[in-house]
Amino acid sequence: MSEFSCVGLIGRLGSEAVAYSLKRLVAFLNERNVKILLDNETGAVVPDASVTRVRREQLPSLCDLVIVVGGDGSLLGSARLMAGTGVPLLGINRGRLGFLTDISPEDIELKVGEVLDGSYEREQRFLLQATVSRNQQVIGQSLALNDVVLHPGQFIRMIDFELYIDETFVYRQSSDGLIISTPTGSTAYALSGGGPIMHPSLDALVLVPMNPHTLSSRPIVVSGGSDIRLVVGEQRDVHPHVTCDGQVHIVTQTGDEVAITKSPDCIDLIHPKGHRFYQVCRSKLGWAARQASEGSAFNDFEE
């Protein structure tokens, strides 16, 4: 019997491709006699009266596994919900890159079947906790699996802020903002901002300035246990935003402080057997595939 006897399904709305994959997934799980729970929003695109619908926030307490059908953004939102619960997440890619959603739509039955049979790899990822305070009162907070970003919001203007790491002053900067990224998020927004790719197993954070008004400002990699603090400087007609995973937005004003620390709550990701981070990078980022010719010394290389 599979250890995953009850599976929750979450899908990105507004996509016929996602709806099609969800219906295939429901049919397959029914064949395997697995109990299925759909969150109410996802249930709207799967007209199957035999499937139980619950509120999304109920899934962690009711399921052994949650499968997300969509892109990385869909999985990021689900990750914040599942953080600290021990319920693992498995992603079916119906987005673009799909660094976090491993299974292709064509392989749903094969790969999900392997997971149900116990053939999978389990990986833990840490999240960030972002807290925004004004006059020593918390005005907003959220978890982030990928990144916490301070940015100008709807205006294209530079903003001023101060950066402290472990209560040590680092710099005052004028820029389009700052990305504080986990290793998970290093292949997302931080990468487009010139940050390094970090292996998910690293206990580290990277701070990536966004278009800084200086040639000497570069990304900084720090310990994952570092306490990051930003102090929002005086702005001219701009209210900078703090955004977590591009999905949770908190509007700041001059003098607000943003504290970013590692959350004590982690998430577990399920990958198909044979998952390799560098192989994913090679595929998603268009790195050149190995071209080993007959007789080459590289023929004996095993990834």
For residues 137 and 245, state if they share a domain: yes
Report the relative pairing of strands 177-181 and 204-210 from DSSP bridges. Answer: antiparallel
- DSSP letter string, 88-137: -EEEEE-SSS-SS--B-GGGHHHHHHHHHTT-EEEEEEEEEEEEEEETTE
Distance of CA 64 to the CA centre of its chain: 20
Helix (H, G, I), strand (E, B) or coil at 279: helix
User: In what side-by-side order are the strands of the sheet with 204-210?
Assistant: 220-223, 204-210, 177-181, 147-151, 241-244, 248-251
Give the separation between CA 281 and CA 93, rounded to whole angstroms.
Answer: 15
* Catalytic residue check, 72: yes
* Amino acid letter, residue 220: I
Q: Is 191 annotated as a binding residue?
A: yes
**pLDDT-based confidence at residue 296 (cuts at 50, 70, 90):** very low
- DSSP letter string, 203-243: -EEEEEEES-SSSS---EEEETTPPEEEEE---SS---EEE
Q: What is the DSSP-derived secondary structure letter of residue 33? A: T
Q: Is 73 annotated as a binding residue?
A: yes
* Amino acid letter, residue 198: M
Q: Is 288 annotated as a binding residue?
A: no
Residue 271 lies in a domain: no
171 φ, ψ (degrees, to nearest 5): -165, 165
238-289 pLDDT, tens digit each:
899 999 999 999 999 999 999 999 999 999 999 999 888 998 898 888 887 6
Q: Is 190 annotated as a binding residue?
A: yes
For residues 141 and 56, state if they share a domain: no
Q: Which of 96, 118, 140 is the last residue of a domain?
A: 118
Tokens encoding 65: 């596994």
Residue 300 lies in a domain: no
Q: Which of 118, 146, 167 is the last residue of a domain?
A: 118
* CATH number assigned to the domain comprising residue 207: 2.60.200.30
Which residues are bridge partners to 269 per DSSP? 89, 123
For residues 106 and 58, state if they share a domain: yes
Q: What is the pLDDT of residue 170?
A: 97
For residues 93 and 136, state if they share a domain: no
Report the relative pairing of strands 168-175 and 257-272 from DSSP bridges. Answer: unpaired
On the 0-12 / 13-18 / 19+ scale of CB atoms within 10 A, 41 is middle
Q: Which residue has the tokens 């057997």?
A: 273
168-212 pLDDT, tens digit each:
999 999 999 999 999 999 999 999 999 999 999 999 999 999 999
Give the separation between CA 302 and CA 17, rounded to whole angstroms.
Answer: 36
For residues 76 and 169, state if they share a domain: no
Q: Is 211 annotated as a binding residue?
A: no
Options 39, 48, 64, 72, the catalytic residue: 72
For residues 134 and 255, state if they share a domain: yes
For residues 107 and 133, state if they share a domain: no
For residues 237 and 155, state if they share a domain: yes
Q: Which tops the pLDDT comparison, 101 or 162?
A: 162
For residues 77 and 184, state if they share a domain: no
Q: Which of 80, 100, 118 is the last residue of a domain?
A: 118
For residues 10 and 114, state if they share a domain: yes
Residue 50 lies in a domain: yes
Range of the domain at 20: 6-118
* CATH number assigned to the domain comprising residue 88: 3.40.50.10330
Tokens encoding 102: 């491993």
Report the relative pairing of strands 89-93 and 248-251 from DSSP bridges. Answer: unpaired
Q: Is 187 annotated as a binding residue?
A: yes
Give pTM, 2 decimals: 0.91
Q: Is 164 annotated as a binding residue?
A: no
119-161 pLDDT, tens digit each:
999 999 999 999 999 999 999 999 999 999 999 998 788 999 9
Q: Is 246 annotated as a binding residue?
A: no
Residue 96 lies in a domain: yes
For residues 168 and 86, state if they share a domain: no
Residue 284 lies in a domain: no
Query: For the chain, what is the domain count?
Result: 2
**pLDDT-based confidence at residue 59 (cuts at 50, 70, 90):** very high
Q: Is 160 annotated as a binding residue?
A: no
For residues 67 and 144, state if they share a domain: no
- Closest by alpha carbon to 177, among 211, 154, 144? 211
Residue 98 lies in a domain: yes
Give the separation between CA 200 and CA 51, rounded to whole angstroms.
Answer: 35
Residue 286 lies in a domain: no
Give the separation between CA 5 and CA 99, rounded to whole angstroms.
Answer: 26
For range 33-48, the mean pLDDT: 86
Residue 190 lies in a domain: yes
Q: What is the pLDDT of residue 121?
A: 94
